[in-house]
Structure 1
């Protein structure tokens, strides 16, 4: 693959010279000149920023929120690769929200690397070309006769060399190149290698500071008391005892909440226990059993909303089918349970505000805070800290709004609002509870001729119209509805895909079993249909999808007799433009109980930017997917969460984590999403292995309730 020539629009180039210590700063806004094609519902990252000082120090800013997905390392790698520097000479800094320098600073949808692939590389390539031009001018030679090596420009014929730091002042005076050459994949020195996370040393030594660690002079800590059940309103409040509690400075009522402010987290948490609040029910408060019954009743009726997708005529196909296969599935509410609970620092002044903490959507949050406080957005500063987990929870801005509101009501003083674990788990947002109904038809030749999906979710619809096997079935219909509820729901890692991956892949296995076909062969057969005779829109590449399926079957030795009492299950899913296939291996023990031993994973995520980061993202996603499918569930009793801490909300334990073997399909395609795609196939691979071992089809989560596991 040859290097790419990319044209730049000078009007979209930002250069600031004469920075402290000399040197120059390079920044780009590619929104109007060379942004990738934007697709509805996807998160687009378009900007970058690099600084080179006269002393040779190179600083690369990471503008996107770091939520544990490794973006603070991966994005600077893209710049450093094209800049042609040694990684050990790079310094990485986290940028704050700055819509003048950066565009779309978001962590979500596995989109940071995917949508920054070209723009960040252009930053490095442009800086490198300007340094070459500066050296060529000083040496009175053609720039075409110069090249770069590890942070210096070299003129091979004369033997002259110059370090970048020696050239930056002249480079800052030059015009921006109209064209830059990007490296071919074969020329990469950093991209595709294993590079340690830039924060690892500080994290493991305890030096790294998270939002929860924020301290400022004159700052008070605050905790928030919320309704104990979803659908309750504050009726009365007696804070007499709380105000007398040691360290408590203020007790404030706002919206439907109560804030307790004091000198330490311990003191405000103790003070909060002394607040006497009376709450009244605002309507009927539903329990988990109510939701389960009501969701299933919705599925007994004809869909009320327009079909998400409708190819052919499923009713006609079912009427003439040789065989009909049906299965129902149910998903529980899930908490996000980030290791670092919700927190944010805010100092609201008369006409400005400073905000500091862990947030996945800083720009959208600033807009919300501006509306809330009546302060212009340009007067609100948001600095992002690295997050102790997000999983979609920190896409929401409720905890930031609380901090800003409390700071203002308390007299414009700095506050750090910190949620307790109980508050975080019982008063936050959940992965919606879902109910699914699947129906498929096959003809006399055992060919799949119809597929109907009908689903309903609490507070959210529960399906994607384009998910596989869409495009591979002549008659294909997807219907999904929302069940209104006071329970707050939000995106949870791999939104929608996190459960539909389980239900679809389990149903595909059930169809294969009913018609006597190998599950892998059945999937490949459908992909051939999508490739050679597609039905409607096909939003995945059948060849790339088939490749990961074949490779996973190969590395796991699918279909071969395994030593011992070992059974396998297969699943494959396409999400966030990435193809992932997984094989789970179970061992049936002497007492008949099942134990998960290993997961094989093959992914096609295009060009791998940081191999170690890519591996850990898939491993983490698989463990997360297995853990939540096996153990996690949040239930409600009359609107009140039953699980409020880790002693009652079951998470996967270290001894329960299986061996994970990861493989990547090597190609020169642009990178795709990787923070979430490893999760959806994990649960169904395990469930399909359970069926192979026991003949039991798992249809509800958590699986541990089946009694099948050791």
Structure 2
């Protein structure tokens, strides 16, 4: 198969200027693998295929079949470090590919086995399976070497891509042993290397995807070009959930380069010889959609519905410890506040796109997906294709953040490819991505705290109200959406009596997981409110949290580390304030302190100090990168991001109206302090996001003298 790849010559030329600052890798295979991975069947059974995850070629090149999608978070580098350490391999000779979905690549964290990447599971879930697979492969290689060298296996070591007999100085290369090892039954289990022998895990390895990205060699899904490919611009309704009424194909076909117009669910696809022609034809297309019940819906309507939810006498209860009503009645003081967050876009820099090719009864899909099985299941369900005759190639992604978990265009792309009889690249524009891409739910919360005469919290009631993300994303039909009470339901705080409930108020805006899911909303609600409680009780905000966590040494260590490293309580320059927050999510505990001032009526974040307990870490630099990215994304959502809804549609569907954080608005300094607690490994990609928003809001509240209860902060400040 021949695939032509479009290159960005300007980026490549610019990359040549900065390569001198990159850490070089021992071999260039990483760059080639990242550019366009030749996805293979998961278990070929061929020479050198030792496990479902590892194949070793005669020249010693290792292919690691990673079950996770690389979205720029560095998961593949972590997997290389795990395998290289346990196998005794040279990491520079390991290339990574995503396999086609199969049993070994599926994980089950409660919703059934599926191949997909989300929930910050990329390293923590696969750490043990990959180490065990590498250890079993190592035992097989050593076994073959022992026979060839005529020595006991116990006298051999696997290191530096060889099996070595130290006593005689003899060495056998992995590539020379792999074919024979692949013919042997693997041991049921193998002892893992002791920590003292690990050279990469917990220490470091340069990111394997950076060199190709630096010199412009990385090929994303939107770059892929297949022989004979045509381009299909998906013209979808600007009003949420509207169905196609009619279109006049002639209006688009008048544009040079337009070949056809094909009806698809929710709209029509304009097919052309180039992306530009497809977009021009799409804009020229005379198309109409059927009216919907929410054609006049506005952001204010959505807010009013959530407020109504807060006022309901009953909610779906997720936790009810003690008698909250009695605690509130007996309180010397009750603190109450309402909070609100808007719908948010994922805003990946690469808009939605997918590539498909049909060859008889065979279907090939090249997709930037986070959820391989879900994508295939939908294609089979909506097109009737035999799943055994579909091959999925997972492409590198220009941003994910949960957006690639959904599968809203693959079936449409197959419909178009069937209609035109040619390979198709279907794509959305930026306006479609922000205007029709499924967002993080809007949500409100009402919190009530009971304080006794000494200012001690004796009861806390939290109610949330808003869209059920799982109803949209997973067709959940119950009354209690767990994502809407995430982190609230399993908080480590002890507040005496404690109740959490939820009232669903479904908006027409479709919603789905967004980085850290419900923890972003609920972390803001709880941690902002605790500052209000501290003020009412006459206590320092950190002191109050220490009081509520006095029973939990692990959580206290995280809180204390962040406070101490940030100099909590020490003097600051005039015009600056600190804000604190602590949120647990995805198996990790994270506390943050934001140091903030006001410049021209807007917050300016000078310094963020982060304490993160993720149990243990594989790549410290990767952890720092994820923390820094999470902090910046959290600041972005706190400062100015929101979807503005009017007439049943998004009004600010590009970066001129949807304000993501600019470079000059980023913090001057982000300090990351990782606590190696030895607890079970937690996630890293999502836990740094939730605490920064309340930490920033608490600092701003201290500066302006009023509470920030509604995001984005730019709106709250007026």
Q: Shared fold by TM > 0.5?
A: yes
Q: Distance in 1 between matches of 2:503 and 2:410?
A: 31
The alpha carbon displacement at 1:231 in A equals 4.9
- CA deviation map 1:66-94 (0-9, x unaligned): 12221121112211110112322x22132
Does the alignment pair 1:91 with 2:94? yes
In 2 relative to 1, CA 380–318 (structure 1 residues): closer, same or farther, beyond 3 Å? same
Matches within 5 A, 1:164-563: 164-285=174-295, 286-303=297-314, 305-408=315-418, 410-460=419-469, 461=481, 462-464=484-486, 466-467=488-489, 469=491, 472-528=494-550, 531=551, 542-563=552-573
Contact 2:309–2:466 (Cα < 8 Å) also in 1:
no
Most deviating of 280-289 and 156-165: 156-165
Helix, strand or coil at the partner of 1:502: helix
Most deviating of 257-266 and 136-145: 136-145
Helix, strand or coil at the partner of 1:672: coil
The alpha carbon displacement at 1:588 in A equals 5.1
Contact 2:354–2:410 (Cα < 8 Å) also in 1:
yes
Contact 1:348–1:412 (Cα < 8 Å) also in 2:
yes
Matches within 5 A, 1:26-175: 26-28=50-52, 49-88=53-92, 90-103=93-106, 104-175=114-185
Q: Distance in 1 between matches of 2:451 and 2:526?
A: 16
Helix, strand or coil at the partner of 2:317: coil
Helix, strand or coil at the partner of 1:671: coil
Matched residue, 1:655: 664
Contact 1:239–1:274 (Cα < 8 Å) also in 2:
no
Matches within 5 A, 1:671-710: 671-707=681-717
Helix, strand or coil at the partner of 1:367: helix
Q: Distance in 2 between matches of 1:160 and 1:284?
A: 76
In 2 relative to 1, CA 467–600 (structure 1 residues): closer, same or farther, beyond 3 Å? farther
Q: Distance in 2 between matches of 1:465 and 1:601?
A: 19
Contact 2:249–2:260 (Cα < 8 Å) also in 1:
no
Does the alignment pair 1:607 with 2:631? no
Helix, strand or coil at the partner of 1:335: coil
The alpha carbon displacement at 1:283 in A equals 1.7
Q: Distance in 2 between matches of 1:374 and 1:179?
A: 41
Aligned residue pairs total: 655
- CA deviation map 1:41-78 (0-9, x unaligned): xxxxxxxx112223222222223111222112111221
Q: Distance in 2 between matches of 1:691 and 1:606?
A: 33
Q: Distance in 1 between matches of 2:217 and 2:243?
A: 42
In 2 relative to 1, CA 231–83 (structure 1 residues): closer, same or farther, beyond 3 Å? closer
Helix, strand or coil at the partner of 1:494: coil
The alpha carbon displacement at 1:17 in A equals 6.0
Q: Distance in 1 between matches of 2:269 and 2:148?
A: 64
Matched residue, 1:11: none
Query: Unpaired runs of 5+ in structure 1?
Result: 1-13, 29-48, 532-541
Most deviating of 68-77 and 630-639: 68-77
Q: Distance in 1 between matches of 2:583 and 2:282?
A: 46
Q: Distance in 1 between matches of 2:367 and 2:280?
A: 24
The alpha carbon displacement at 1:657 in A equals 0.3
Helix, strand or coil at the partner of 1:404: helix
- CA deviation map 1:426-469 (0-9, x unaligned): 12211111111111111223221111111111243522375464
Q: Distance in 1 between matches of 2:149 and 2:380?
A: 53
Helix, strand or coil at the partner of 2:609: strand
The CA RMSD over aligned residues, in Å, is 2.0
The alpha carbon displacement at 1:314 in A equals 0.9
Give the structure-1-normalised TM-score: 0.89
The alpha carbon displacement at 1:545 in A equals 1.8
Give the structure-2-normalised TM-score: 0.88
In 2 relative to 1, CA 465–565 (structure 1 residues): closer, same or farther, beyond 3 Å? closer
Contact 1:114–1:671 (Cα < 8 Å) also in 2:
yes
Helix, strand or coil at the partner of 2:485: coil
In 2 relative to 1, CA 667–283 (structure 1 residues): closer, same or farther, beyond 3 Å? closer
- CA deviation map 1:577-614 (0-9, x unaligned): 0111100001356x786422110111111221112211
Q: Distance in 2 between matches of 1:18 and 1:484?
A: 52
The alpha carbon displacement at 1:675 in A equals 0.9
The alpha carbon displacement at 1:486 in A equals 2.6
Helix, strand or coil at the partner of 1:324: strand
Q: Distance in 1 between matches of 2:163 and 2:680?
A: 28
The alpha carbon displacement at 1:249 in A equals 0.3
